[in-house]
Amino acid sequence: MRKYWAIVKIGFKNALTYRADFFLWGFNEFLGTLVFLFIWSVIFGEKGRIGGFSLPETITYLIGVGLINNIISTAASRFIQRDVQSGRLSNLILIPLNYPLVRLFLSLSAKPVNLLIRFFAYFAVALFFKGKLVVSSNFPMILLTPISVVFAFAINFLVDYLTGCISFWTITTEGPEGIVRTIKNIFSGNYAPISFFPPGFQVIANFLPFIYIQYFPMLIYLGKVSTIEAIKGIGLQIFWVVVLYFLARAVWRKGLKKYEGVGI
């Protein structure tokens, strides 16, 4: 474990080299989210509810999924793709460490600084909607939300990992990665709650793992599911983690055999 701690440390130092970047991205997110929420406020207008969500719930939801997105995002697919394309993967698989874990810890290492700034960004956004936010006081839900976010992180990492593995076969993964990212963003409820979408769409969403990445944790927070349903949902999250883990392991092994170590 000490070895991976060393990875976290060097990743952290590396991240600090380009400090200004953090602030710029933080500001970028602040602006984007703010405009997005203004648009939703206009869409709601006189309507009381859309898809079972009130305006305060929707705003809370969107700020929530934004925060969750920052907590769980790993950019693993982009890094794996770059590693494969540039041949840097060769370095990383020839050290006595587990490559997936190296990638996991490297993406975690940049998080503390990043998250701190993003939290400020969302706090600033929240100030614009003071009094229009839902503050949960349901105790089991407050406890279950972070638990579901942990599993959401695992699902998201594995999906990213699988997406990155495409690069073993296609060399450039921007196309496939773009599609996966869009599908993930739609079906995870990143743009809007799934209940806003047509019924057929919602049925499909329920069969995909993406819904457990952002939508489900926010349903728990907003108390839109019962405690039993929340625990069941967490069970399904674990199911997806296991399925995706074995899939990722198989795909990784197959991909490595295709690897040609180009560029070095």
- Please identify, using beta-carbon distances, which residue of 18 and 207 lies nearer to other proteins: 18
- Please identify, using beta-carbon distances, which residue of 232 and 258 lies nearer to other proteins: 258
Shortest distance, position 258 Cβ to other proteins, whole Å: 8
- Please identify, using beta-carbon distances, which residue of 1 and 203 lies nearer to other proteins: 1
Evaluate whether 237 touches 216 at the Cβ level (below 8 Å): yes
Shortest distance, position 104 Cβ to other proteins, whole Å: 16
- Please identify, using beta-carbon distances, which residue of 95 and 243 lies nearer to other proteins: 95
- Please identify, using beta-carbon distances, which residue of 172 and 226 lies nearer to other proteins: 172
By the 10 Å C-beta count (0-12 exposed, 13-18 middle, 19+ buried), 198 is classed as exposed
**Residue 49: strand, helix, or coil:** strand
Which residue is listed with tokens 């706090």? 123
Contact residues for other proteins, defined by CB under 8 A: 2-3, 5-7, 10, 13-14, 17-18, 87, 90-91, 93-97, 256-257, 259-261, 263-264
Q: Which of 199, 210, 202 is nearest to 65 (CA)?
A: 210
Question: How far apart (Å, rounded) are the C-alpha atoms in residues 245 and 120?
Answer: 33
Contacts of 43 (CB under 8 A, 6+ apart): 50
By the 10 Å C-beta count (0-12 exposed, 13-18 middle, 19+ buried), 175 is classed as exposed
Shortest distance, position 216 Cβ to other proteins, whole Å: 37
Which residue is listed with tokens 């499909």? 204
Shortest distance, position 209 Cβ to other proteins, whole Å: 30
Shortest distance, position 76 Cβ to other proteins, whole Å: 19
